[in-house]
Structure 1
Amino acid sequence: MGNRQDGVWMQAIACLPEERAAALSRVAEQERIEELRLRCGEAPSVRIGGAERPLSLAPVTADELRETVSRAARYSVHSYAESMRQGFLPLEGGHRLGLCGTAVSENGSVTGVRRISSLNLRVARQIDALDDILAPYIGEGAPFSLLVLAPPGCGKTTLVREWVRLVSDAGHTTAVADERGEIAGLAEGVPQFRIGRCTDILEGCTKKQAALMLLRTMSPALVAMDEITSPEDIEAVALCAHCGTAVLAAAHAAGPSDLRRRPLYRRLLSLGVFERVLTIEQKDGKRSYRMEKTEGTTC
């Protein structure tokens, strides 16, 4: 795992057609790229520090997009029907390919995406520099419930992953409800990220389903999950709380006040589960971190 960062970009773009991957293998600042955007008829662009930058490369074609999806699905799209229904394909190493195009509906529910118009390749990275920021809050005492807040693309999943690793390595049994396979990045049962020596992972099902199974079978002190986006996700948080298990989760919000303006998150906060909120802020390409008690007092 020590040299993983050296090949992160190459691993992420391995799902692309060979000619496109070869061109992208030469782009600058590979270690800072957060996302690769592929839009039909436009040149590829990359997201760095929260801003998109176009690349001086040939425009993306519809054939490229179709081939990329086929490669990402290992030429078996039907095997990934559930994730495609949610608009993404999981990739080895915890990377994720988001899909846009024409939604396919059946009985009022989206069942997939066809006629792909654009793709978003999210690059997953391990950032050990967070240790100095997070370690003071993790010790021998029982884990506490924490909600991580940030706008899209500001590193919520990365922070959740590092919190899991530190809590787990402190000796606390930790479970990950990894619905989209982004936190641990399992490959043949082996996590592709360092997530701690006391961590158990269940991926490929909803947060609620995973929480039920993990609580029944693994006796975790902490259950970690990624973004809360639906009422069912809130039910997963409530299940953990009712069992006395700490919860680590994330939400799209610029801060606690922004969170409280949204009906879904007001319901989440009404559970009274989270003891602290950690907000990630990004300005001029640099991130800062603010830990607060849920009463609003800075820790």
Structure 2
Amino acid sequence: MKTKDELLKIFSLKLRIILGKLQINFDDLQEIRLRVNCPLLISYKNKEYFVSEEASLVGNPSQGVLITKNEIKETMEYISNYSLYAFEEEIRQGFITISGGHRIGITGKTIIQGNFIRGIKHISYINVRLAHQVKGCADLVMPYLINEKTKSIYHTLIISPPKCGKTTLLRDIIRQISDGSPYLEGMNIGVVDERSEIAACYMGEPQNDLGIRTDILDCCPKAKGMMMLIRSMSPQVIAVDEIGSREDIEAINYVISCGCKLIATVHGSSIEDVKSKPILGDLLKNRIFERYIILSNINKVGQLEEIYDSMVTRIY
């Protein structure tokens, strides 16, 4: 199994053996967390489990295999191919993206220079987030995002609590806009991937399929990236993940004033939740977005709950 093989090689030898014996479907594995002096923890099918020395899933933390400082150190050596210096910029951001698009979050003691983080040392916590591209997951929402009169895309905001599939949905919307479909001709789309989660670029190459007409700015701040794409790549659509800052809003207004369509996501549980946020609330009041997609994980991750138009009238 490709996912399993990609993952196992980044862990210490001891953890590699234990994880390799797990009787699970690695395609349903979401996270693997290593915390120094704490038991090995995984997220599997939306539930948390500890992993025992015997490679079984257990609920009691005292039965979980204990992660030592050496396990962390050895794992980081494999992740970085024995050259943490080569990943200095990524470490400064707090994560490393590896082959397959899997993202390794790291924390420890930050090294501060002025107002900037120069790096992280004494790494003691690792979170391996597995990349899962679900092609076709946007099939249900795409007809609601297409303006039949102009044969274009509506400005769209995806609203979702954490871990409810908003980035997965955004990724497939991007792919379908880029490649085109029987309902919409393919469009040039620019993606600002600030945290390398959408495209999951590894050495400049996207590990996820975002389509044939997609240009990606990896590890670039959203506000700066949106303006750079407008000036350099002439996109018809721009896609960003997790908007929220005042700078983001100013860049969004610039994008829209240039005639470019926008697809974005934001953390929230409902339209009312987003309205109550000081900066984001103005976007709704000014009717910047023409479609709102609400997700939840009540029955499953990525559960489509509702779709609203610009007047906040429910259309799904």
TM-score, normalised to structure 1, is: 0.87
Residue among 193, 196, 199 paired with 2:208? 193
CA distance in structure 2 between the aligned counterparts of 1:211 and 1:220, rounded to whole angstroms: 10
* Residue 38 in structure 1 maps to residue 34 in structure 2: yes
Residue among 238, 252, 263 paired with 1:223? 238
> 1:3 maps to what in 2?
none
Superimposed CA distance per residue, residues 122-176 of structure 1 (whole angstroms, 9 cap, x where no aligned partner):
1111112414323323556111221112222222211111000111111111111
Name the aligned partner's letter for residue 99 of structure 1. I
- The alignment partner of 1:278 has SS state of strand
Residue among 292, 295, 298 paired with 2:308? 292
CA distance in structure 2 between the aligned counterparts of 1:13 and 1:232, rounded to whole angstroms: 40
Residue among 165, 180, 183 paired with 1:155? 165
* Inter-CA distance 41–249: structure 2 relative to 1 (3 Å threshold): same
> 1:133 maps to what in 2?
140
> 2:272 maps to what in 1?
257
* Mapped contact 1:238–1:271 kept (Cα < 8 A): no
- The alignment partner of 2:158 has SS state of strand
Superimposed CA distance per residue, residues 194-252 of structure 1 (whole angstroms, 9 cap, x where no aligned partner):
21121121213222232222111221111111222533333332331221211112112
Gaps of 5+ in 2: 54-64, 181-185
Gaps of 5+ in 1: 1-5
Name the aligned partner's letter for residue 250 of structure 2. E
> 2:18 maps to what in 1?
23
* Mapped contact 2:161–2:269 kept (Cα < 8 A): yes
> 1:247 maps to what in 2?
262
Greater alpha carbon shift after TM alignment, 165-174 vs 93-102: 93-102
* Mapped contact 1:277–1:291 kept (Cα < 8 A): yes
* Mapped contact 1:49–1:286 kept (Cα < 8 A): no
Superimposed CA distance per residue, residues 4-41 of structure 1 (whole angstroms, 9 cap, x where no aligned partner):
xx422432443222332332233213211121111112
The sequence identity of aligned pairs, in percent, is: 32
* Mapped contact 1:50–1:153 kept (Cα < 8 A): no
* Mapped contact 2:239–2:264 kept (Cα < 8 A): yes
- The alignment partner of 1:37 has SS state of strand
Name the aligned partner's letter for residue 14 of structure 1. K
* Mapped contact 1:149–1:252 kept (Cα < 8 A): yes
Greater alpha carbon shift after TM alignment, 250-259 vs 184-193: 184-193
TM-score, normalised to structure 2, is: 0.83
> 2:124 maps to what in 1?
117
Name the aligned partner's letter for residue 81 of structure 1. E
Question: Residues 62-211 of structure 1 correspond to what in structure 2 (within 5 A)?
Answer: 62-139=69-146, 141-170=151-180, 171-211=186-226
CA distance in structure 2 between the aligned counterparts of 1:267 and 1:92, rounded to whole angstroms: 40
Which protein has the larger Cα radius of gyration, Structure 1 or Structure 2? 2
Greater alpha carbon shift after TM alignment, 193-202 vs 81-90: 81-90
What is the deviation of 1:46?
Answer: 1.6
- The alignment partner of 1:213 has SS state of helix
Name the aligned partner's letter for residue 194 of structure 1. D
For these two proteins, the number of residue pairs brought into alignment is 294
CA distance in structure 1 between the aligned counterparts of 2:50 and 2:310, rounded to whole angstroms: 40
